[in-house]
Structure 1
Amino acid sequence: MQTHFTAEQLRDPDTAEANKILRTCVHCGMCTATCPTFLLLGDELDSPRGRIYLIKDMLENDRPASELEVRHVDRCLSCLSCMTTCPSGVHYMHLVDHARRHIEETYVRPWPERALRAVLAKVLPNPSLFRLSLRAAALARPLGRLIPGQSMTAQRLRGMLALAPAALPPPSPVQEAQVHKAEGVRRGRVGLLTGCAQKVLNPSINEATIRLLTRMGIEVVITPGQGCCGALTHHMGQHDPAMAAARANITAWSAEIAGEGLDAIVVNASGCGTTLKDYGFMFREEPEAEQAARVSALAMDITEVLEKFAYAPTREKPGLTVAYHSACSLQHGQKITALPKQLLNRAGFTVKEPAEGHICCGSAGTYNILQPEIAGQLRARKLENINRTRADLIAAGNIGCMTQLAGDALPVVHTVELLDWMAGGPKPPRLATAGLPA
């Protein structure tokens, strides 16, 4: 794609990167075939190619974002399916992230939109505030059916109440800053990102991760000072809060690396993992560039760590069929596709892959709150394909997807909970309540 940025514009590193990405695009349109929003809406501007044209025009002319660009960029899930499909290697993720920051800095949204985004940016990365908000939402949940109208505000309110769980698990002390010693001879030492929303919604994921790794002889360090990875605000275009969250993590893990050292930084929420692995790029012009690159190089999904340390089950085969949902951030963002299924097979599960596995479930961070209608359609489509597998349960590697897919007949369990169970850990809580056999 031909571009016409000025020399002055190209002095900005982000604009120079956008120019490089835009020039990689050859207009082939192969991305449209795998884009969820184009699949549903059929609008060229709701495809990656269409959004690329909009972003190019906005950035090249160095003008504030208009309602047109905002509408179509906001509808992008950042599922990155287009990057898997693209034969030219267009790095759409960095381009759309830059566009979102430009929109945030130049476009004045209607006040209800600004208020909602401010609340999400404040509450979701803060476990204490998030827990309080979920308790309030659970109390208000019956009122969701009484909210009238089909306005975006009404849809969002109903959607947020529907997503709130009826009850929350109690806080888990094992997730707090501490060192979990390896059992037996220590084979490795890793840091664990405990996350923000996941800590509140499903602490059993972190508990299973710690149990499994320590039984395998791996010391697990939860460093003081770590918190949200920054992805939630980053994908809303809120650059400074995202960088502050990432910087805190980089500082915390760098101190640990300089001390006793780390063999890996384990991430069991794939949306967070995609962002951690991008810290090196995000901080390429910052004073922490070297530290950020080191953290990115150490970041590994839990399945990568289990494979590295030769995971092996100890229980008999459970006789259960698992529908494996491959989170977009894992398969498209991190290019981890076969490994989780191989580990589940090794653990004795029969693994089924639903049709359209490359299509997003509609969670996408805050997307199912900000774009509830599209997210709802994608959820229904995903569950229909999953139910056709006639599996006993759903396995996934991302808390956002798990929350989005919950509430159907099938229990949704994190992959690491199943692997921990088959290697001597307890039965996952969601399987126990579903009455599935041990």
Structure 2
Amino acid sequence: MEFVFPKPFIWGSATAAYQVEGNNANSDFWAEEHAEGSPYADKSGDAIDHYRLYREDIALMASLGLKAYRFSIEWARVEPAPGQFSMSAIAHYRDVLHACREFGLLPVVALHHFSSPQWLMRLGGWASPEVPELFARYCEVVFRELGELIPYVLTFNEVNLPTMLREIFSKIGIVPPVGIDAAAWSAPKWRESAARLCGTTPDRYVTFHMISDEFTIGLLKEAHRKARETIKRLSPETQVGFSMALSDIQSIAGGEALAEAKWQLVFGQFASMAKGDDFFGLQNYTREVYGPEGQRAPEEGAERTQMKYEYYPEALEQVVRKVAQTLPIPIFVTEHGVATDDDERRVEFIRRGLLGLQSCIKAGINVKGYLHWSTFDNFEWNSGYAMKFGLIAVDRTTQERKAKESARYLGRIAQNGGIDHTDLV
């Protein structure tokens, strides 16, 4: 055994409340699912019923050898109406945190993972000047009640995703197409329907996924700053950060300027948010290659995931190295995973990704931990239930869990503190 990972190193997996809990009917995504003409492939419904089965799920993670569990708190459950906070929801998340402690898992909490309360849309959503104060108020309640139980927290998950995926989102009507002013843009009918279900109009219906212009990005940065200040005031020992989704941006001859511009778009313009943070949450799944004509498709014959992007676990190492050149704070890999029905390919994805991470650590880069996405096969937003990211399979007719070999593989690594020599050949 080569123990190259530092001690303590955090080994675990991650979920998001909306994707696993089920029946988050007060969230904006619920309205999107149920809108007339919605592009969502499935409705989340009970999801994998994690809101009820969390204790058994946490016990299963621990039995597999995992050491940490990253989960999110659903804002719409905690604050179902503006200024009205649910003590029963707080009690639920308190018990989730206690269950983590009971079974020996370090909890890592995300305060926002894409979904927002429907009532926020009636105030203008993420374009409302009130949003930084409203989000900080929610954080204050959570940390006043639960702060001593939360050692690590992400204020936001993937702050750059709307910018990163703007072209894709424009195709399904989440954001206006590039070059179209938002004020002049007519939302598709399903967005009008979703807005009505939230009790508002399309011009005020600005979800987290529409944060992609200077004004809304500015509000997001302020919301993070206010949230961090609130958390540190109430729970000074809690380590605070946020996460970004970052592909490995590469170039071939003639594509260097385009690649540099893309890196600035998805990383550079957000990097200042991390000033004053305790760590940076890095999330990686693949690479993007740019040539003189723009982004190139993967080479013919290249392996692709269920999400249609390139299977390329080596991207993790390269992105960690790039981020470390800019940010002086510890890096925490808060998501890394692959959508595939072939679990052997997931094991290989983990192995090769961790070998790259090991190389970063040997080079002196401060990496705090590795959390795999996802703990379970779950609701993958507009893709529904077809995408298989999980270490653990779920039969949604019975809600029976079945650990895959990838779960046991990562669990062994977590128990041993590194990659066995047999995995290095």
Q: TM range, normalised to the smaller chain? A: under 0.3
Question: Whose relative contact order is higher, 1 or 2, with alpha carbons under 8 Å and at least 6 apart?
Answer: 2
Flag the structure with higher strand content: 2
Flag the structure with higher helix content: 1
Larger radius of gyration: 1
